[in-house]
Structure 1
Amino acid sequence: MAHYRAKSTLEQWRIFQAVIDCGGYAHAADKLNKSQSSLNHAVAKLQQVLGVQLLEVKGRKAVLTAVGEVMLRRSRQLTQTAQELEQLAHNLEQGWEPEVKLALEMVFDRSTLIPALRKFQDFSRGSRLSIEDTVLTGTLEHIREKSADVVITHHLPKGYIGEPIDDYVMDLVCHPDHPLAQLEQPIAQDELSQHLQIVIRDTAEHPQEDEGWLKAEQRWTVSHFDEALRLVRSGLGFCWLPPYIAEREMKKGAIRKLQLEGSSCRKGSLYMVLPKGEQTGPCARQLADLIMGKEIEAQKAAAS
């Protein structure tokens, strides 16, 4: 296969884009701090080596030809890729990680993360993000074994510190026709042991069965809240579910919230932990800052 040599340069494509974006050669020259003649020459050379006309002059304005429109669109992909490649080299030279792992306790409403993740995407070019749902001791394992870079947990293991990030709530719910919903509210705790409970599987290698809401005589285990909601909605058992999962169905009347003696809901705090401590990489630190709302530091780092 013959070795291919590019006829055009990235600089020529950037100049071509600037002429269009700035509405002409004069403004593009100001923006790029180059002479107008050098821009004219670059675009003329680009058209010559490609053998196609990209621009035509109408009145005093240079406008795109039909071919130019196609080439402009594709050239933006090219210059963006080049920029990302250079950013990746800079990131890796600075010690940026090729991948960041984020472990999220399943009770955490991750929709609140979207603005932070959107900003993270803007400056983390080349660094992949892996997001894992974790439950109970599975979350703690990631902290103790340092197998994730950033962890949001409902519980801090001994010897670790975390920043409070949010609170969580778990409501006790069942189908409106379920026997528990027919009882006078609030119901006694020992009533629950007479019925099937839907629980979420602990994601740990060696789960601690005495943790949290796993105490139940009869139980079915599922791997995610969505599956638990499906079973509850169909009338099979009761479950502790966070409002971000259950609220819409409660408003529709598809499931009902139960009142329990001495406890209308389960509550707790969520913390963000960097399990690797001082060994946490700069990319993971920037993600943590964004999650905590420290946007200024992240933007400065992205610009540097």
Structure 2
Amino acid sequence: MPQPVLSLDALRALDAIARKGSFAAAAEALYKVPSALSYTIAKLEQDLGVQLFDRSRQRAQLTSAGLLLLEQGRELLQASQRLEEQVRQLDSGWEQRLRIVVDTIMPWAPLWQLSADFTALERFTRLQFSEQVMAGTWEALLRDRCDMALGLAGEGVNAQVELHLLGYAEFAFAVPPTHPLAQRVATTPDEPVRREELLAFTAVVVADSAAEMPGRDSGLFAAGHVLQVPTMQAKIAAQLAGIGVGFLPVHLIQQELLTQQLVVLTTEIPRAPVPLYLGWRKDVVTGQACRWWREHLLNLPWQQLLTPGELKAHV
């Protein structure tokens, strides 16, 4: 296999000549004597077997081959600089990658501002967000498929996981105002929606994303038919379309309630609030990026975000 003839020093020399406009100015910028810079370029041309500069004119001009090498070489120089910075960053405790799993019940908006703030730190840690559902969120954390999980639901007891309660998600039975159940409640507002009434409608449920752990469906109740969807946003869309009914997280349907695309009905089977946690594994050594995200996530006003206001049932 032939030995490579390109070196970063040679590429830096070529870049400096192109930027400064002359060998003399480039040599000064690189703290070299002009003869040393001329030798570097001549040696590179000899090793490559191509002419990089047209020296027939008073001022040397890059040839087509020289322009190609300059363009591609600058990409190599930038990649080299990024690699050096990443190595130094890793040595200082900043991870190359941070994986955050977000349960489908959580709002995404607060994460975008944190992402912008994190990017402003000018670290090279690559953020990787993914979405899971219920036991799938736990599974991703326990199977080491993420560094932290946002929106873990349940009683919050697991010996392997450090858990911090964020708040409680509240649910409302919400349908479009044109839905038959909404029309019925409008005529008899003192009567909540009964269990037997639900049998006439399709229940929209979010399927648990767990592949190994026992899962369950979100929002499942006794109904005539069941429509299973992959995310909470898909469930909201299905109920807005009038395809089915079910309980929805209040914090995710604020706009739909304000614009009366959805109305809340009182039912005989109210759904209890669900505690949500931020969690990470106790046995995994974490870096500075993970610690930064933990601190800033825990400082967000989650209870306010999860319980934005009191709702009134449709009358």
Aligned-CA RMSD value = 4.9
Shift of residue 98 of structure 1?
A: 7.8
The reply on whether 1:179 has 2:180 as its aligned counterpart is: yes
CA distance in 2, matches of 1:288, 1:180: 48
1:155-166 map, 5 Å: 155=153, 157-158=156-157, 160-162=161-163
Shift of residue 4 of structure 1?
A: 1.8
Structure 1 stretch displaced more, 85-94 or 38-47? 85-94
2:240·2:261 contact (CA, 8 Å) conserved in 1?
Answer: no
The reply on whether 1:53 has 2:52 as its aligned counterpart is: yes
1:274·1:280 contact (CA, 8 Å) conserved in 2?
Answer: no
1:187·1:259 contact (CA, 8 Å) conserved in 2?
Answer: no
2:135·2:215 contact (CA, 8 Å) conserved in 1?
Answer: yes
2:138·2:152 contact (CA, 8 Å) conserved in 1?
Answer: no
What secondary structure sits across from 2:5 in the alignment?
coil
CA distance in 1, matches of 2:24, 2:271: 66
Shift of residue 132 of structure 1?
A: 3.5
Q: For residues 98-122 of structure 1, give each alpha carbon's deviation from its aligned partner in whole angstroms, at most 9, with x where no partner exists.
A: 8754322112234544563883995
Q: Read off the aligned partner of 2:192 and give its amino acid letter.
A: A
Q: TM-score, normalised by structure 2?
A: 0.63
1:255-266 map, 5 Å: 256-261=261-266
1:116-265 map, 5 Å: 116=115, 119=119, 123-124=124-125, 131-144=129-142, 147-155=145-153, 157-158=156-157, 160-162=161-163, 172-182=173-183, 183-184=185-186, 188=192, 190=194, 193-194=198-199, 195-204=201-210, 205-207=212-214, 209=216, 213-218=218-223, 219-241=226-248, 250=256, 256-261=261-266
CA distance in 1, matches of 2:190, 2:16: 68
Structure 1: stretches of 5+ with no match in the other structure: 295-304
CA distance in 1, matches of 2:261, 2:105: 19
The reply on whether 1:279 has 2:304 as its aligned counterpart is: no
Aligned partner of 1:35 in structure 2 is: 32
More helix by percentage: 1
Shift of residue 81 of structure 1?
A: 4.1
Q: 1:237 to 1:288 in 2, by over 3 A?
A: farther
Q: 1:131 to 1:16 in 2, by over 3 A?
A: same
Q: TM-score, normalised by structure 1?
A: 0.65
What secondary structure sits across from 2:131 in the alignment?
strand
CA distance in 1, matches of 2:264, 2:75: 56
Shift of residue 12 of structure 1?
A: 1.0
CA distance in 1, matches of 2:82, 2:231: 36
Shift of residue 6 of structure 1?
A: 1.8
CA distance in 2, matches of 1:59, 1:71: 22
2:172·2:265 contact (CA, 8 Å) conserved in 1?
Answer: no
What secondary structure sits across from 2:264 in the alignment?
coil
2:174·2:265 contact (CA, 8 Å) conserved in 1?
Answer: no
Q: How many residues in Structure 1 have an aligned counterpart in Structure 2?
A: 280
What secondary structure sits across from 1:236 in the alignment?
coil
CA distance in 2, matches of 1:31, 1:186: 84
Aligned partner of 2:300 in structure 1 is: none
Aligned partner of 1:297 in structure 2 is: none
2:203·2:220 contact (CA, 8 Å) conserved in 1?
Answer: no
Structure 1 stretch displaced more, 100-109 or 14-23? 14-23
CA distance in 1, matches of 2:69, 2:129: 37
Shift of residue 220 of structure 1?
A: 2.5
